[in-house]
C-alpha cells in the first residue's frame, strides 16, 4: 500500500519523545487521536505491517492523508491531552461514548440555603455535588423521588427562606413525606442534617447511615421524644428494606466496578456493574458498532470515567489493559485516592465478571432484535421511495411560528434506528417581513446545508423530509442537490396522509409499517419545533420594549426600575436622568417613549 508523500516525509523525521498524534483525512478533518510513549515508533506502526492490521485500523489508515503531533513531557500528560482532544474533535475512529448516550446525574446545589435534589444531563454545574452517572433518566428520577420521600426533602418550586409561610403546606407534608420547610419551622441546620443523611444514602453507605440514625433514635427515646424516635425507627426500616433488595457482593466490601464485554458480529457491548459498600447500586451497558479492538479495556476506561465521584477504589477486568500502571496513576490522580485495576482468576471476582458479561450479552440480544426491525424499516423505505440504498440518517424539518416575531425552525434526526436527540438543531428565522412558511423553510435548509460536511451536524443525510407539501419542496429543491427530498402531508383531521415528491403523492395509509414510521417522525418534529417556538415567544413577551431604545441595556434598565419602582409616566426627563443616572439623550428618549414624540 502506498502512502502520501507528506506522511512518509514526516515519519522520517518524527521525534521519539512521548506525545499525542492526530490523523487527518484529505479534507483536513481529524479522524483519529492517539497517545504514544514513543511517537516515532507508534505512528510508524500504522504504516508498516499493514496486512496484520484489524479491519478498523486498516480502514482508518487508508483514509490518512496527513498527521500532526504534539510533544509532551510524560505519558501522563499524553493521556490527559489525548482525552481532551478526543472530546474536542470527536474523531470518527475513536471511541465516543457521548454519541451513545448522555448520562444523567443527581445533583445537589450546595450554594442554596435549602437545596433541592435535581436530575441533570450535564457532567458539571458550578456549586453542585453530583451523584452518578445513572444509566437512564428514569433511574435517576426514581432515586430522587425515593430520597425526597425517605428524608422529607422539599420538592416544591418555592425558594427558601424567601417563601417561608407564603401559602399552606402541600400534600407531601400532610402525608409525612416532607419536613415542611415552607412552614418556617425547619432551621437551616436541621435541613442540612437531613441532607447529610440523604448524601450518605446516595453514596451507598447504608450501614453507616443506619448506625447514625439508630444512635439518634436512642437519644430521642431517652429524652422522651417518642414521636421523633418513632419517625427515625420507620426511616431506618425503610432504608434497611431498600438495602435488602440489592445484590450483595459482601458486607463492607470495597467500592468497586466490574467491567466485562460480549461481542456479536461487529457489535461489542461493555457491561458495568457498580458496587458501593458491597451492594450493587447500578448496572450499565454501552454498545459499540465500531471503534473497539479486542483489547477494549484501556480505551473504554479513559472515556467512561469522567468525574472523581464516579471512580471506585477498585475496578475488576477480565484481562489487564495496555499501560495498566499509567491508567491506575491517571485514575488515582482524578479520584484523589488510590485506584487498582485487578484481573481475578478465581472466586467471587470471577463470578461477578460472569454476571457482568451475561448482562452485556442480554443487551446485545435485545439490540439485535431491535436491529432486525430497524433493518426491515430501512429496506421498506428504500423500496417505497426508490432510494439506491436503505437510509441510515434521515433529517426532518418543520417551521413553527406565532406571527412573524416568534418564527423558528426545528430539525430532528433519525439515525441507526432511533431518534438521535443530541443531533437535533434549532433555527431562529431572521429578517422576514411577515409570516412566510416557504421563505422560512428555504432559510432553514440553506443554513443547515451550508454546514453539510461539518462534524457538528453529524454528516450528510441520506434523506431529507419536510413537514409540508409540494410548495414547500419547490422552495428548497435546488438547495438539496442529489440528496433525496420528500414532504409529508396531512389530511383534514391533521393526521399523516401521504408522502409528496416531484413524481407525485404516495398514500402511506395502505402500508401500516411505513405509516407508523412517518407518523412518528412528523409528531416528533412538530413537538420539537413548537416547544422551541413557545420558549422563544415567551421570552419575547417578557422583554421590555425600553430595551429597543438606543443606549438602553439590561443594566441601565435595572437602574431605571430601581429608581422608579412605582413606574415613571409622570417623571420629567431631568428626574429620569438624575435619579436613574442615565445619559441625557437616553433620559430624553425614555421620556418621549411615555409622552410621545411631541412631548
389-413 pLDDT per residue, tens: 788 889 999 998 765 556 889 999 9
Assign residue 499 the CATH number of its domain. 3.30.420.340
Instruction: Report whether pLDDT(348) > 80.
Output: yes
Using pLDDT thresholds of 50, 70 and 90, give the confidence band for residue 247.
Answer: very low
Instruction: Report whether pLDDT(561) > 70.
Output: yes
Same structural domain for residues 417 and 461?
yes
Look at residue 238 in the predicted model and tell me its pLDDT. Answer: 73
Look at residue 21 in the predicted model and tell me its pLDDT. Answer: 94
Q: Are 91 and 56 in contact (CB under 8 A)?
A: no
Average pLDDT over residues 53-58: 80
Nearest to 509 by CA among 347, 384, 379, 327: 384
> Chain-wide mean pLDDT for the chain?
82
Using pLDDT thresholds of 50, 70 and 90, give the confidence band for residue 86.
Answer: confident
Domain boundary among 68, 94, 120: 94
Same structural domain for residues 526 and 431?
yes
Same structural domain for residues 568 and 449?
no
Look at residue 76 in the predicted model and tell me its pLDDT. Answer: 75
Using pLDDT thresholds of 50, 70 and 90, give the confidence band for residue 569.
Answer: low
Average pLDDT over residues 112-136: 73
Is residue 239 domain-resident?
yes
Q: Are 110 and 104 in contact (CB under 8 A)?
A: no
Domain boundary among 345, 365, 385: 365
Q: How many domains does the chain have?
A: 5
Residue % of the chain over a pLDDT of 90: 17
Look at residue 245 in the predicted model and tell me its pLDDT. Answer: 46
Look at residue 594 in the predicted model and tell me its pLDDT. Answer: 78
Look at residue 248 in the predicted model and tell me its pLDDT. Answer: 47
Cell 446516595 maps to which residue? 202
Instruction: Report whether pLDDT(438) > 50.
Output: yes
Instruction: Report whether pLDDT(39) > 70.
Output: yes
Distance CA 508, CA 306 (A): 46
Instruction: Report whether pLDDT(246) > 50.
Output: no
Look at residue 174 in the predicted model and tell me its pLDDT. Answer: 83
- The pLDDT tens digits of the residues spanning 545-554 come to 787 888 888 8
Look at residue 99 in the predicted model and tell me its pLDDT. Answer: 39
Q: Are 57 and 46 in contact (CB under 8 A)?
A: yes
Stretch among 36-50, 128-142, 390-404, 406-420 having the lowest mean pLDDT: 128-142
Same structural domain for residues 88 and 125?
no
Instruction: Report whether pLDDT(168) > 70.
Output: yes
Look at residue 123 in the predicted model and tell me its pLDDT. Answer: 55
Same structural domain for residues 232 and 123?
yes
Is residue 372 domain-resident?
no
Same structural domain for residues 418 and 513?
yes
Q: Which residue has the higher pLDDT, 599 or 81?
A: 81
Torsion (CA) 79, 98, 484, 28 in degrees, nearest 10: -20
Q: Are 484 and 462 in contact (CB under 8 A)?
A: yes
Same structural domain for residues 397 and 537?
yes
Cβ-Cβ contacts under 8 Å for 453 (sequence gap 6 or more)? 27, 459, 460
Same structural domain for residues 526 and 555?
no
Residue % of the chain over a pLDDT of 70: 85
Look at residue 251 in the predicted model and tell me its pLDDT. Answer: 47
Q: Strand, helix or coil at 501?
A: strand
- The pLDDT tens digits of the residues spanning 441-469 come to 999 999 999 888 776 677 789 999 999 88
Assign residue 283 the CATH number of its domain. 3.30.420
Distance CA 463, CA 484 (A): 5
Instruction: Report whether pLDDT(265) > 70.
Output: no
193 sits in the region (left: phi over 0; alpha: psi -120 to 50; else beta) called alpha
Is residue 215 domain-resident?
yes
Assign residue 585 the CATH number of its domain. 1.10.150
Domain boundary among 541, 557, 575: 541
Look at residue 412 in the predicted model and tell me its pLDDT. Answer: 94
Same structural domain for residues 440 and 576?
no
Cell 438602553 maps to which residue? 552
Same structural domain for residues 46 and 132?
no
Q: Dmax over Cα atoms in the chain, in whole Å?
A: 92
Instruction: Report whether pLDDT(372) > 60.
Output: no
Look at residue 514 in the predicted model and tell me its pLDDT. Answer: 81
Instruction: Report whether pLDDT(138) > 70.
Output: no
Distance CA 24, CA 353 (A): 38
Distance CA 599, CA 595 (A): 6
For 87, the domain range is 5-94
Is residue 478 domain-resident?
yes
Same structural domain for residues 415 and 440?
yes
Q: Crossing angle, helix 584-595 and helix 573-580, to 10 degrees? A: 130
Cβ-Cβ contacts under 8 Å for 440 (sequence gap 6 or more)? 399, 401, 407, 409, 429, 432
Pair type for strands 504-507 and 496-501? antiparallel
Stretch among 106-110, 223-227, 505-509, 538-542 having the lowest mean pLDDT: 538-542
Is residue 102 domain-resident?
no
Same structural domain for residues 124 and 222?
yes
Instruction: Report whether pLDDT(341) > 90.
Output: yes
- Name the grid cell of 58: 486498516
Instruction: Report whether pLDDT(306) > 90.
Output: no
Using pLDDT thresholds of 50, 70 and 90, give the confidence band for residue 135.
Answer: low
**Beta strand segments in 299-458, E:** 314-316, 340-342, 393-400, 408-415, 418-419, 425-428
**Beta strand segments in 2-73, E:** 19-24, 30-36, 66-71
- Name the grid cell of 593: 417613549
Average pLDDT over residues 34-44: 91
Give CA separation, 405 vs 91, 432, 434, 534, 536, in Å.
39, 9, 8, 12, 9
DSSP state of 3: -
Amino acid at each position: 500500500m502506498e502512502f502520501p508523500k507528506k506522511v512518509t516525509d514526516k515519519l522520517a523525521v518524527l521525534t521519539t519523545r512521548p506525545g499525542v498524534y492526530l490523523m487527518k483525512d484529505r479534507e483536513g478533518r481529524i479522524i483519529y487521536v492517539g497517545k504514544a510513549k514513543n511517537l516515532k515508533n507508534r505512528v510508524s506502526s500504522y504504516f508498516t505491517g499493514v496486512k496484520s492490521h484489524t479491519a478498523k485500523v486498516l480502514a482508518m489508515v487508508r483514509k490518512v492523508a496527513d498527521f500532526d503531533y504534539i510533544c509532551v513531557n510524560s505519558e501522563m500528560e499524553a493521556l490527559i491531552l489525548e482525552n481532551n482532544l478526543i472530546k474536542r474533535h470527536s474523531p470518527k475512529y475513536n471511541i465516543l461514548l457521548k454519541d451513545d448516550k448522555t448520562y444523567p446525574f443527581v445533583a445537589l446545589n450546595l450554594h442554596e440555603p435549602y437545596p433541592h435534589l435535581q436530575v441533570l444531563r450535564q457532567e458539571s454545574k458550578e456549586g453542585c455535588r453530583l451523584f452518578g452517572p445513572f444509566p437512564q433518566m428514569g433511574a435517576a428520577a426514581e432515586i430522587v423521588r425515593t430520597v425526597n420521600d425517605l428524608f422529607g426533602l422539599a420538592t416544591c418550586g418555592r425558594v427558601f427562606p424567601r417563601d417561608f409561610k407564603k401559602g399552606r403546606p402541600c400534600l407531601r407534608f400532610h402525608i409525612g413525606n416532607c419536613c415542611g420547610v415552607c412552614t418556617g419551622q425547619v432551621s437551616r441546620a436541621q435541613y442540612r442534617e437531613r441532607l447529610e443523611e440523604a448524601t450518605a444514602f446516595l453514596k451507598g453507605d447504608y450501614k453507616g447511615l443506619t448506625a447514625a440514625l439508630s444512635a439518634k433514635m436512642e437519644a430521642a427515646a431517652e429524652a422522651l421524644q417518642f414521636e421523633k424516635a418513632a419517625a427515625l425507627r420507620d426511616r431506618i426500616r425503610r432504608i434497611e428494606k431498600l438495602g435488602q433488595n440489592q445484590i450483595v457482593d459482601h458486607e463492607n466490601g470495597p467500592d468497586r466496578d466490574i467491567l466485562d464485554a460480549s461481542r456479536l458480529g461487529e457489535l461489542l457491548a461493555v457491561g458495568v456493574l457498580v458496587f458501593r459498600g458491597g451492594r450493587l447500586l447500578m448496572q450499565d451497558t454501552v454498545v459499540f458498532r465500531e471503534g473497539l479492538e479486542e483489547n477494549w479495556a484501556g480505551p473504554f476506561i479513559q472515556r467512561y470515567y469522567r468525574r472523581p465521584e464516579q471512580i471506585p477504589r477498585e475496578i475488576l477486568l477480565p484481562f489487564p489493559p495496555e499501560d495498566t500502571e499509567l491508567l491506575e496513576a491517571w485514575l488515582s490522580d482524578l479520584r484523589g485516592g488510590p485506584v487498582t485495576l485487578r484481573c481475578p482468576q478465581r472466586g467471587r471476582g470471577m463470578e461477578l465478571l460472569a454476571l457482568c458479561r451475561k448482562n452485556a450479552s442480554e443487551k446485545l440480544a435485545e439490540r439485535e432484535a431491535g436491529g432486525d426491525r430497524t433493518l426491515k424499516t430501512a429496506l421498506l423505505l428504500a423500496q417505497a421511495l426508490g432510494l439506491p440504498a436503505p437510509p441510515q440518517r434521515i433529517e426532518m424539518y418543520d417551521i413553527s411560528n406565532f406571527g412573524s416575531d416568534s418564527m423558528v425552525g426545528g430539525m430532528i434526526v433519525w439515525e441507526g434506528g432511533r431518534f438521535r436527540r443530541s443531533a437535533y438543531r434549532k433555527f431562529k428565522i431572521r429578517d422576514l417581513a411577515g409570516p412566510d412558511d416557504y421563505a422560512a423553510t428555504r432559510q432553514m435548509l440553506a443554513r443547515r446545508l451550508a454546514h453539510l460536511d461539518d462534524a457538528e451536524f453529524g454528516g450528510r443525510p441520506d434523506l431529507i423530509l419536510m413537514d409540508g407539501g409540494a410548495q414547500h419542496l419547490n422552495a428548497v429543491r435546488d438547495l438539496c442537490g442529489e440528496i433525496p427530498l420528500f414532504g409529508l402531508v396531512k389530511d383534514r383531521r391533521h393526521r399523516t396522509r401521504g408522502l409528496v415528491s416531484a413524481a407525485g403523492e404516495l398514500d402511506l395509509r395502505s402500508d401500516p409499517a411505513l405509516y407508523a414510521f412517518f407518523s412518528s417522525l412528523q409528531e416528533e418534529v412538530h413537538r420539537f419545533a413548537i416547544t422551541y417556538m413557545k420558549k422563544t415567544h415567551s421570552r419575547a413577551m417578557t422583554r421590555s420594549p425600553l430595551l429597543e431604545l438606543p443606549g438602553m441595556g439590561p443594566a441601565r434598565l435595572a437602574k431605571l426600575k430601581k429608581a422608579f419602582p412605582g413606574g415613571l409616566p409622570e417623571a420629567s426627563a431631568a428626574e429620569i436622568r438624575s435619579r436613574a443616572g442615565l445619559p441625557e439623550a437616553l433620559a430624553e428618549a425614555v421620556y418621549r417613549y411615555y409622552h410621545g414624540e411631541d412631548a
